[in-house]
């Protein structure tokens, strides 16, 4: 069984290649929260963006289009040990799907200006969803990440 997806848009990012993101990760402990970018939604889907501007944050689902292959044990950034792939956010996954919650700054027609960009220029956008209170979990435990922070 295979499921086929088609991009509905494209990410415009200050990061031109994967290595730029790795460098950024090392340079900043604050993460990617203030990294600005744009989501360009193709004209065919533009009408679906109505009402999105009421939301402060959106869930961006995208393809890690440059990732090739995967290993079920992987060593995350800043981490000494190999970890189970599904306990990491590595781009190298059986299905190279990415999920990032970005801040919606402004909408201009089919362009969404956002902050929190941690993907590269040209990343295919698969879906956009509103971020709602259900997505905001409290009292979370973060396993091996806890020690490595």
* Contact footprint for a copy of itself (CB under 8 A): 1-8, 31, 41, 45, 47-59, 61, 63, 65, 72-73, 83-89, 93-95, 97, 99, 101, 103, 124, 126-146
The smaller minimum CB distance to a copy of itself, of residues 18 and 56, is found at: 56
The smaller minimum CB distance to a copy of itself, of residues 63 and 119, is found at: 63
The smaller minimum CB distance to a copy of itself, of residues 47 and 69, is found at: 47
The distance of closest approach from Cβ of residue 62 to a copy of itself in the complex, given in angstroms and rounded to an integer, is: 10
The distance of closest approach from Cβ of residue 144 to a copy of itself in the complex, given in angstroms and rounded to an integer, is: 5
Quick one: how far is CA 66 from the chain centroid?
14
DSSP-assigned states of every residue in 90-141: -S--SS-EEEEEEEEEEEETTEEEEE---S-TTPEEEEEEE--GGG---S--
Contact (CB, 8 A) for 40 and 12: yes
């Amino acid at each position: 069984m295979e499921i086929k997806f088609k991009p509905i848009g494209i990410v415009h990012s200050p990061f031109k290649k994967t290595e730029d993101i790795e460098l950024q990760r090392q340079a900043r402990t604050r993460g990617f929260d203030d990294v600005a970018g744009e989501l360009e939604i193709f004209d065919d889907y533009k009408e679906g963006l109505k009402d999105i501007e009421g939301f402060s944050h959106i869930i961006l689902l995208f393809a890690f289009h440059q990732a090739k292959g995967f290993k079920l044990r992987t060593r995350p950034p800043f981490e000494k040990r190999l970890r189970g792939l599904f306990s990491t956010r590595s781009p190298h996954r059986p299905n190279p799907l990415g999920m990032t919650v970005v801040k919606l700054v402004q909408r201009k027609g089919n362009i969404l200006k956002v902050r929190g960009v941690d993907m590269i220029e040209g990343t295919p956008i698969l879906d956009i969803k509103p971020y709602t209170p259900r997505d905001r979990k409290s009292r979370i435990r973060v396993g091996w990440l806890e020690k490595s922070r």
